[in-house]
Chains A and B, each alone.
Chain A
Amino acid sequence: MHIKQYLFSFFILVSFQMLSQEEVNVDFFVVDDTTENVVSTAQIYLKSGKYIGTTSEEGKVTFRGPENKSFQIIVFSYEYQIYEQVVNMTNDTASFTIRLKKLSEELSEVFIENYQKKVFNLKRFKDVEGTAIYAGKKTEVVLVDQIVGNLASNNARQVMSQVVGLNIYDVGDGGLQLSVGGRGLDPNRTANFNTRQNGYDISADVLGYPESYYTPTAEALAEIQVIRGAASLQYGTQFGGLINFKLKEPVKNKEIEFVTRNTVGSFGLKTNFSSLSGTKGKFSYYTFFNYKEGDGYRANSNFDSKNFYGYIAYDFSKKTKLSFEATYLNYLAKQSGGLSDVQFLEDPSQSNRTRNWFEVNWKLLALKFKHKISEKTDFSLNLFALDAHRKSLGFRVNQRFSEPNPFDTDEQDQNGNFLQERDLLVGVFRNWGAETRWLTRYKAFSKDAVLLVGSKIYNANNTSQQGPGSKGSDADFDFYSSEFPQYRNQSEFKYPNFNASVFAENIFKFSDYFSLTPGVRYEYIKTISEGTYSPELIEDNNRFERNILLVGLGASYKPTNYFESYANISQNYRSVTFSDIRVTSPSFTVAEDITDEKGYTADIGVRGKYRKFVSYDANLFGLLYEGKIGTNFEDRVGWVRDNIGTAVVYGLESLIDWNLQETFWKNSNYKLNIFINGAITDSKYTKSRFNGVAGKKVEFIPLVNIKSGLGFGYKNLIGSLQYTYLSEQFTDVTNAPYKSDNETTVAGAIPSYDILDLSFAYTYKMFKFETGINNLLNRAYFTRRATGYPGPGIITSDPRAYYFTMQLKF
C-alpha cells in the first residue's frame, strides 16, 4: 500500500493553502461571578474541541488565532457551571473577562452525571495530554463513575460496555482476572493488549509473558483508556493496543475523604472496598483496601482475595510533581475445571475437578516524576518494578491413557484416595522498567507542531517450573518430584529478558483543522530461556535477539462542532511469549520453530456529536498478521501453539449514543439515553503451512458483537438496562463447529449468546445504594473453551445473579 505517499502529497497541498494568514493575540480573564475572585486552573476550549489553555494564577489565558474570525469558546472549571461565549478576533491584544457561576451545593446524581459527561466530551478531543499524543488514533475512554453496574465484581461486560468490539471472557471469579480481546485477538488474560495501571506496566512480563494476572478493581477506577493498534509506537508493540487503568486521584478540596463500600451478592459474594483520599498543602494521597470472597456458582469453586493500594504525591511547585505508588494483591481460588459439551448441556454447574487451585501474589511499585520544563515542554519519568508469582495446581488429564482426554475422570480408589498426582506450575516474575517521555510544542512551517520523544528499558528475570504436585486435594503448592520422578511434564526454566526501545511521534498541524502524526519506534529485544525439560532433563537453552523498527502515520481532521475524522496505519509486532514457547499444560504443547508475529493495524473513522444529542464514534479497521500464532489441534495429547499463517481481520466498529432527554424534555431532573455499541468483524487465513487452514476464519471472532443499552434516571435514582449479543465464534484454526455430543475435545465453536443486565443506583446524602441483576434472562452460556488452565474445557459463565452494594462517603 502506498498510503504514506498519498498522504504525503496531500500534506504538501494543504500546507500551501494555509501558509499566509495574519494572526492576533487575545487574552481571557476568568473570575468568580459573585466574589469577583480570580479562578485559576479553569480550562478553555474551542467548540471544535481544540484545547486553548488553562488559566494561570492571575486567571489569564492567551489565545492566538487568525484575524477577523469568530470562535465559540467553552470555559470550564470544577465547581462552576460550564460557560460558552462567541469571541471575535477583531484586533490584537483585546481582552475578555469571563464570569463563571458556582454550582449549587445540592446536586442530583442525574445532574452530576450530565455535567461529567459534558466535561468529558470537552476533554476527549485533546490531541495531547501530559506527555502523550492521542492525535489520529482510535482512543476510547470509559468513565467508571458513570457506570451503573456490578462494580464490586468487576463485571467487564458492564464496565467496558462502551468499548467497541471487545470479546470478553465472562467467568465468575469476582473479576479477579480480566480477559478481554478484540479484533480477533485471544482474550485470555488480556495478553494481546499492553496493560497498564496509571501508565506503567502491570502484566507478568511485557514481552515474554504479557498476561495480566492482576486487574485493578473497578471500584477504585476513574477511567479506563483504550488506544487501539496504533498505540504500538508509543506504548508497546502489541496488536491489541493499550489498556490503561487510571485509578482515582486524591480529592483536592478535602484533607480526608473516607469511602466504604460493602457488597453482598449471589453465590456467597462478599466484598469490601474502603478508601481514604485527600490533599493537604503540597501532599496528596489515595489509598484503598479491597477484600473479596465468593463461592462461585459451580461446585468446587471459591475465591478469597486481598488487594491494597497506596499513592502519595508531593507537588514541589505547579511545575514539578513526584509521586509514589504501591500495589499488593494476593488471592487463592479453587477452580472447578472445564466441561465437555455433553457435560455442559447436562448441568453447567457441575464440576469434575475437585482439587484444582490457583494462587496469585502481585507486588507492584512505581515512582513517577513529572516536570514542566517550560510552558511548551513537559517531561515525565516512570520507574516501576514487579515482584510476583502465580501457582497453579490441579489434575488436568490422565496421562496413563495413550491419548489423554481433557474430560477424563479424576479417578479414586475404593478408599477415596486419588490415583493421580496433580500438575503444578509455578511462575515467578521479577522485573523492573523505566520510561521517560519528553514532549515539546514548537512551530514547523509557522504552524503548531508537537514532538514527543521517549525511551523505555525493561529488564525481566523470570522463572517457571513445572512438575508433579501431590496426590492430595488441598492447596499444597509444593513439588513432589522425588515421589513421582517419572512425571511426564517436568521443566525448569529461567527467562532473563531485556528490552530497550526509543520512540518518537510528531504532530504536524497544517491548519487549525488538519494534522498529520508520523511516528517511529525502535526496539531491541533479547529473549533468553535456559533450562531443562522432562522427564530426562533435556537441556534447552535459547537465545533470541532482534532489532525491530516500527513506523506509523496518523491523520486527523477536526473542522467544527465536535467532529473529528481520523485515519492511521501502524506496524505491530508480538514477540513469542513463554506461554508460546514452553509447555504449560499436559493438553497443550508448542511447536519448536515458533517465531514472532508481525503485521499492521489500520483505522479510519469519524466521531463527534450530532446536534448536541447524538454522539457517535464509528470506524473501519483492518489488521494484517504474518505468522499469526494460534491454537492448533496438532497432537493427540491436545493443542499446539504455532505460527499458523497469514491472516487478515477487518470490520466496522461503532458506538452511538442518543440522549433522549436532551432531545425531548430538556428537564435536567431526568436522564434517558440509549446506546448501541456494535462491531461487525470478519477474518480469513489467506495462507497457512497446514492443510485445511487457508480460507478458514480466525479464532475468537464473532461476526456480530453488540452491546446495547438504555440509561435512565430521575434526580438521585439512575439505572441501566444492557443487552449483549455475540454471534458464534470458532476456537481453532480448522473452524471445528459446535457439537452438542462432543465429549473428547476442547475444539468446537462457542455458540452465540445474549445476556441482559439490569442495574440501579440511588444516592441519599452520604449514602449510595447500588443493586442489580446480571444475566436477567438466566441464560446458560459460556465464553471460553480453555486449552489448559483453568480447564481444560468449557468454562461456564454465571447464571442469573444479584448484587447489592451500600456505599458510605464522608
Chain B
Amino acid sequence: MIKNSFLIFLFSLWFASCATDTEDQCTTDDFDRGAMLTNWAENIIIPAYENYVDKLEDLKSDLTAFSDAPNQTNLNQARTSWLGAYVAWQKVALFQIGKAETERLRDYSNTYPLDAVGLENNIETGSYDLSLSTQLDKQGFPALDYLLNGVENTDLEILNVYNSTTSYTNYLLAVSTRLEEMALSVLQDWNTSYKSTFIADECSSATASVDKLTNDFIFNFEKHIRVAKIGNPIGYFTNIPIPEAVEAFYKKDVSKDLFVVAIQSSKDFFSGKHFNTNTEGISLKSYLIDLNIEAGGRSLSTVILEKMDKALATANGLESNFYNQIIADRSAFVTMRSDLHSVVEVLKTNMIAALKIKADFNDTDGD
C-alpha cells in the first residue's frame, strides 16, 4: 500500500538519522594504552611496592632489635627505618588499585590523626583485632609515630616504658607486622596475577585500568595530599587550625619530608619516570603530547608540569616542622594549598576531558 510505504519511509528516515556507527568503542583514540599500562606496572608501580616492602622489612627487624634491647641506639635506628618506610609509603600511596584497594591498604597504613586514647586502651586491655575497621586509627605509621616518639616526653622516659612492660613492645610488633603483611600481599598479587589483568584492561570505561588509576592518582593528589596533609591541619574552610592533624604529629620535624616526596611521586608518575632510574616511559604526559592537547596556546603537559614544579618549590620553602609553622604562620600553608589546588584543577578538568576519562569522584569541600 502506498500509504503504508510512505509511513515506513518516514520512519526509516528518522531511524537512519539516529543510527549508530558500529565500530569498536574500546577507546576513542589511537594511543596505545596497553603500552602505558605496561610502563606503569613494570617500571613504576611494582618497583615502588618492592621498595616499600624492603623498607618495611628493615623496619621490622629494627623494631625487633629494639624490643629485644630497648636502648637509645636501637630507638634511633628504629626511628630512622620508620621514616624510611614512611617515605617509601608516599611513593605507593597513589597506587591504591587491585589488592591495595580491596584490602584498604591506605586506610590501615596511614589514617591520621591517631586515636591515641584508643591505642592506649588497646595496649592496656591487650585485646584488639587490628583487622577491624574500628581499629583504623589505632595502627599504621601514625601508631608507630606515637609509640616511638610520643608515649612519653623524653627519650629516657620512652625507653623506661619499653623496659618496664612487654605490652608496648607487643603492640609495636603487631602494628609493624600488619603493615608488612599487607604490603607483601599487595606486592605478591601484582607479581602473580594482577599485573596481567591490569595491563590487559586497556579499554575505556569506569572500571578500565587507565580510567581507574588516573582517577586514583588525582584522588590521591586531591584528598590525601591537598586535604589531608595541608587543608585539614590548617582548617582551610573553618579557619580554625587543627595543627595536631599534621602527618607525623609526634615526630613533628618530618612532615615536610613526607609531603615533598608525595608531590614528587605524583609528578614522576605523570611523567612516566621509572622508579629506579631517570628514564621516562609512556605516561599521561606522553598521552597528552601524542594527542596534541593544548591549554591557552601551550602544551597541556607543559602547563601541568609547571604547576607541579611550582607546588614543589613552595613546598620546599616550608619549614620541616608543619605543626610549629601552622601555629606561627598559617598563611604560608594557604598559599601552599592554592598551589596544590591549581594542579588538581588542571588535572580534573583539562587533562581528563582530553583523555575522555570520566571523573569518578566529586569535588571535595571537606578541607
Residues of A within 8 A of B (CB): 1, 3, 6, 10, 14, 398, 400-403, 405, 408, 411, 413-414, 419, 514, 555, 557, 559, 565, 567, 602, 604, 620, 622, 624, 633-636, 640, 648, 650, 682-684, 686, 690-693, 695-696, 732-737, 739, 741-745, 747-748
Contacts and interface: CB of A to CB of B under 8 A. Distances in A.
A635 B361 contact: yes
Contacts of A567: 7, 11
B207 A739 contact: yes
Nearest to B134: A419
B164 interface: no
A152 B9 CA distance: 46
Given A622-B18, A634-B359, A692 B211 contact: yes
B358 A693 contact: yes
B133 A604 contact: no
Contacts of B129: 413-414
Interface in B5-20: 6-8, 10-11, 14-15, 18-20
A734 B206 contact: yes
Give the size range of B's interface with the partner: 35 or more
Contacts of A559: 1
B207 A742 contact: yes
A88 B361 CA distance: 75
B178 to A, nearest CB: 16
Which 7 pairs from chain A and chain B are nearest by CB?
A734-B206, A736-B207, A400-B133, A648-B18, A692-B358, A736-B205, A684-B20
Query: Quick one: which of B6, B10, B206, B219 has the most chain A CB within 10 A?
Result: B206
Contact of A411 (B3, B127, B133): B133
A696 B204 CA distance: 10
A624 B17 CA distance: 12
B353 A691 contact: yes
A636 B361 contact: yes
B278 interface: no
Contact of A3 (B4, B10, B211, B358): B10
Given A419-B133, A514-B3, A692-B211, A732 B206 contact: yes
Contacts of B25: 695-696, 735
A691 B133 contact: no
Interface stretch (B43-51, B75-83, B98-106, B329-337): B98-106
A1 B136 CA distance: 60
A1 B14 contact: yes
B20 A682 contact: yes
A224 B8 CA distance: 29
B203 interface: yes
Contacts of A633: 206, 358, 360
Interface string B335-363: 00000000000000000110111111110
A6 B360 contact: no
6 contacts: A403-B101, A620-B11, A635-B360, A636-B219, A733-B358, A748-B207
B264 to A, nearest CB: 23
Contact of A747 (B10, B106, B206, B355): B206
Contacts of B211: 692, 734
* Highest count of chain B CB atoms <10 Å: which of A648, A692, A737: A692
A635 B206 contact: no
Nearest to A408: B133
Interface of B: 1, 3-4, 6-8, 10-11, 14-15, 18-20, 25, 28, 101-102, 104, 106-107, 111, 127, 129, 132-134, 136, 197, 201, 203-208, 211, 219, 223, 352-353, 355-362
Nearest to B131: A411
B40 to A, nearest CB: 18
A544 to B, nearest CB: 23
Given A400-B134, A400-B136, A402-B106, 19 more contacts: A3-B14, A408-B133, A411-B133, A414-B129, A419-B134, A555-B7, A559-B1, A565-B4, A602-B14, A622-B11, A622-B14, A622-B18, A634-B361, A683-B20, A732-B205, A732-B206, A742-B207, A744-B101, A748-B207
Contacts of A419: 132-134
A522 to B, nearest CB: 26
Nearest to A743: B102
Contacts of A624: 18
B3 A635 contact: no
Contacts of A622: 11, 14-15, 18
Contacts of A742: 207
Given A413-B132, A602-B14, A690-B358, A735 B3 contact: no
A411 B104 CA distance: 15
Nearest to A683: B20
A737 B207 CA distance: 8
A634 B101 contact: no
A738 to B, nearest CB: 10
Contacts of B28: 692, 695
Interface centre among A10, A732, A734 (most CB of B within 10 A): A734
A401 B15 contact: no
B107 A402 contact: yes
Contacts of B8: 604
B204 A557 contact: no
